[in-house]
């Protein structure tokens, strides 16, 4: 096992869902759209269906989440897909930062080079990152390496995942949906209230979804802002009807053939 280890073994976090989409009178399951964010216990997922139903849960492993959501029309996930190459940063990261100025640009941190995924310790990862890119690796990025590795593995194994799983970013989604970067940090009470006020105007069940997940799972497994992030990704996927906008518009690929884009929906664009 490479990289920092999760403190939660497989199976510790139960996956419980609410209001799972049911087949209609013709036997067809309504189209569904899923938002996924990493959390201390694994991955938090929120799924909205075209018929108004929804469900949520936390998974210890991304493969388990994928097996439960592979029929989604679109899955937006807050984790890098397609990694950096050498000293060139990802274009999608720089474009997203520009859209989050002022105030939230720092929430987009650089994706690591692929070689970092093979490192066992931070010192080794930092050395590889500095050697290959000219810049060191932050501790925050190193903490995400196990999840980046999980997602990278899924994308390389599954052709279907390459079609329906796309990288997104919660702060970019909020900014594009609601006219600009959020004024307050998501970890502040004012930031939580700001984001929930916006979300509630589009999806009235947002508050209920947060409350139910907080009741079902302790904060050591999922923080409140992880849940809010998953919800805005789900709302974005749902509003896009499976066809989100992307930065850059055509995207580029890394050496493993993975597209490097960040998906979002622009509210003004939807109204035109």
- Tokens at 236, concatenated: 């974005």
Q: Which tens digit of pLDDT belongs to each residue from 55-92?
A: 999 999 999 999 999 999 999 999 999 999 999 899 99
Q: Which tens digit of pLDDT belongs to each residue from 156-206?
A: 999 999 999 999 999 999 999 999 999 999 999 999 999 999 999 999 999
Asked whether residue 48 carries a pLDDT value surpassing 60, the answer given is yes
**Residue 266: what are its φ and ψ, rounded to 5°?**
-95, 125
* Contact residues for 34 (Cβ-Cβ < 8 A; gap 6+): 45, 46, 47, 48, 69, 72, 74, 75, 76, 233, 234, 237
Cα-trace Rg, the chain: 18
The larger pLDDT score, comparing residue 59 to residue 16, is at 59
Q: Which pLDDT belongs to residue 52?
A: 87
Give the global pTM. 0.89
Query: HSE of 92 in the Cβ direction (CA atoms, 13 Å)?
Result: 29
As a whole number, the mean pLDDT across the chain is 89
The answer to whether residues 125 and 144 touch, using CB atoms and an 8 Å cutoff, is no
């Amino acid at each position: 096992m490479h990289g920092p280890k999760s403190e939660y073994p497989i199976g510790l976090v139960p996956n419980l869902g609410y209001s799972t989409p049911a087949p209609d009178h013709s036997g067809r399951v309504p189209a569904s759209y899923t938002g996924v964010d990493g959390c201390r216990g694994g991955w938090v997922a929120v799924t909205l269906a075209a018929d108004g139903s929804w469900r949520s849960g936390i998974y210890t492993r991304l493969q388990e989440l994928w097996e439960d959501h592979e029929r989604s029309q679109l899955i937006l996930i807050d984790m890098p897909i397609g990694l950096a190459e050498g000293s060139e940063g990802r274009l999608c990261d720089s474009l997203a930062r520009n859209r989050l100025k002022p105030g939230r640009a720092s929430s987009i941190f650089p994706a690591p080079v692929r070689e970092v995924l093979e490192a066992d310790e931070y010192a080794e990862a930092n050395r590889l990152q500095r050697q290959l890119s000219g810049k060191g690796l932050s501790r925050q990025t190193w903490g995400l390496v196990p999840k980046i590795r999980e997602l990278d593995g899924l994308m390389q194994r599954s052709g279907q995942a390459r079609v329906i799983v796309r990288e997104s970013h919660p702060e970019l989604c909020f900014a594009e949906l609601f006219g600009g970067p959020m004024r307050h940090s998501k970890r502040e009470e004012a930031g939580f209230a700001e984001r929930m006020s916006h979300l509630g105007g589009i999806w009235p069940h947002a508050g209920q979804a947060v409350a139910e997940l907080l009741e079902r799972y302790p904060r050591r497994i999922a923080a409140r802002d992880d849940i809010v992030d998953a919800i805005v990704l789900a709302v974005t996927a749902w509003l896009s009807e499976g066809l989100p906008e992307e930065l850059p518009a055509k995207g580029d690929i890394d050496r493993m053939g993975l597209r490097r884009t960040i998906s979002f929906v622009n509210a003004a664009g939807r109204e035109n």
